Amino acid sequence: MVEVTVTPQSSLADRPVRVRVRGLSPGQAVTLRASLTDEQGEEFQSRAFYRADLLGEVDPGCQPALGGSYCGLWPMGLFWFLQPDNLFRRLIKRDVAGSPFLVRLQVFDGIHLAKHPPEGQPLASCQAERWYLAPGVQRVPVREGRVRGALFLPP
């Protein structure tokens, strides 16, 4: 049975996570896909092609991507290379305190060049939470003259 995991499953957006796929056949070609929907309802996605090692595993932290949204060794590539489905959109988190970005990771058999996910069920999937504010941190809006911003106070 194929399994994809993100460790830790819930983390701050600027912290690295480890993505691993297990249960593949040795040498099997797969497409890893990350996707999320932002607060405006816009879709963002990235994908990378990998070949499983002799144990039937894929670890983007140790194995280079063979193509897709990026090539080479990028342990956080699936998160860093998220691109909008519609041109001229940017991934911006407006509600930093209320909710995380939910990033869905999927593994598909073979190499899929199309921008959209292939028909049918993925081999495995999981979800990662990417928070923008640590627990206990207080956000204070700043409005002084022409200065606008936010002050983040540690717990």
Please write the tens of the pLDDT for every residue from 94-121: 888 889 999 999 999 999 888 777 777 9
- Residue 140 sits in a domain whose CATH number is 2.60.40.2240
Residue 3 vs residues 19, 22, 122: alpha-carbon distances, Å: 11, 5, 11
Strands 67-68 and 29-37: unpaired
**For the chain, how many structural domains are there in total?**
1
In the numeric block, which tokens belong to residue 71? 């090539």
Nearest to 90 by CA among 44, 149, 33: 44
Query: Mean of the per-residue pLDDT values for the chain?
Result: 94
pLDDT of residue 120: 79
Whole-prediction pTM: 0.88
Beta strands in the chain (DSSP E): 3-7, 10-12, 18-22, 29-37, 43-51, 67-68, 83-84, 101-109, 124-131, 138-144, 147-153
Buried b (16+ CB within 10 A) or exposed e, 117-150: eeeeebbbebebbbbbbeeeeeeeeeeeeeeeee
Residues 5, 127: Cα–Cα separation, whole Å = 8
Average of per-residue pLDDT across 77-90: 92
Question: Is the alpha carbon torsion for 129, 130, 133, 134 positive or negative?
Answer: positive
Banded pLDDT at 42 (limits 50, 70, 90): very high
By three-state DSSP, how is residue 78 classified?
helix
- Asked if the model's pLDDT at residue 54 lies above 80, the reply is yes
Residue 34 sits in which domain range?
A: 3-153
- CB atoms closer than 10 angstroms to residue 83: 14
| Residue with the two structure tokens 């028909």 | 119
Average of per-residue pLDDT across 58-67: 97
pLDDT of residue 97: 84
Please write the tens of the pLDDT for every residue from 65-74: 999 999 999 9
